[in-house]
Amino acid sequence: MKSKIKNVLLPLSLMLLALTACSESSATSSRNSTDNTSSESSARSSQKSTDNTSEAYSIGVIQLVEHPSLNASYEGFVQALADNGYEEGELVSYDFQNAQGDTNNLSTISDRFVSNNVDMVLAISTPATQAIAGKTTTIPIIATAVTSYTESGLIDSNEAPGGNISGTSDMNPIAAQIELGIELFPETETVGIIYNSSETNSVLQASIAKQEIERLGLNYSESTVTNSNDVYQAMESLVTKSDLIYIPTDNVLAATMPTVGEIAAAAKIPVICGSTDMVKSGGLLTMGIDYYQLGYQTGSMALSVIDGADIGDMPIQFAQNSDEIIINGVMAEAIGYSVPEEYQYAVVMP
């Protein structure tokens, strides 16, 4: 009887040993798989937990309004990440939300991103950045199309932002832009300025423009708006009092440049704009910023955050190329202006 029991126990023991070996092999394989996945995730984001390594890095995008400059910023940002292996839908996912110029929408969108606990927020424009900044102190916020982060109350120092906000500035060469306008239109005596008085960065740029105009010994006439509905009437008034009009990188004006261009063309008044996109949409000329390149530059900053850099230690960056001269050939013809030979290279026909 004992012999039979021994004969039965022996195969059972061998089976148990085999099962144990398989279990250990499976556990080892599982650990190796987890280690490899975790390593890949670490390269993607230090903020992702190993439990979520298969998920794409989530970026909530909050944009104030639809217009070419802000759109170009987003496109440049996405391309920068794509050029570095972060294709949309694979290693990164975007939740793009446009507030259509409504501050209430900005608040709602910001709440959405905080509730969804996105890994990063790309804020495009000053109001968009201010909205999301008021909702979270932990989610990294990379911003662009913000003229002054300090004047907007977002950070205390460009060199050491601290906190959870950094990004790129679209401060343009205002003095050089106005000087170029005066060079091309030397008979100018009064420069008109139109901007959104409720946007901090527009007020700042208008102030710099007025100082430059006075420095050149000229007069200025200003007209302010608070939304797109004000633009038509404000422009109709301004063209009667100005020889030349200057518009900073203002979101309301950028979104209504076709209207601005129509009124300026009818009055034969040249318009200098803060950005190349604004010129192509209805202005005459600028020495300005390429917002696609600015967005690309912002995307490069975002990659550093994804790789684990502390956003609070990242200084605010300024546009690397802000001296590109663009002249709208269609608008030049509309106001009856012959572009000098030395500036023919800058003429575009949008």
**Structure confidence at residue 37 (pLDDT):** 32
How sure is the predictor about 116, in pLDDT bands with cuts at 50, 70 and 90?
very high
User: Mean pLDDT of all residues in the chain?
Assistant: 87
Residue 47's closest CA among 129, 115, 118?
A: 118
d(CA 203, CA 224): 10
Closest CA to 288 of 257, 316, 246: 246
Residue 266, SS3 per DSSP: helix
pLDDT in tens, 66-115: 989 999 999 999 999 999 999 998 899 999 999 999 999 999 999 999 99
Q: What is the pLDDT of residues 206-256, one digit of tens each?
A: 999 999 999 999 999 999 999 999 999 999 999 999 999 999 999 999 999
Question: Which domains does the chain carry?
Answer: 54-170+291-318 (3.40.50.2300), 174-288+323-348 (3.40.50.2300)
pLDDT(179) > 90: yes
pLDDT tens-digit readout, 276-313: 999 999 999 999 888 999 999 999 999 999 999 999 99
Distance CA 289, CA 76 (A): 13
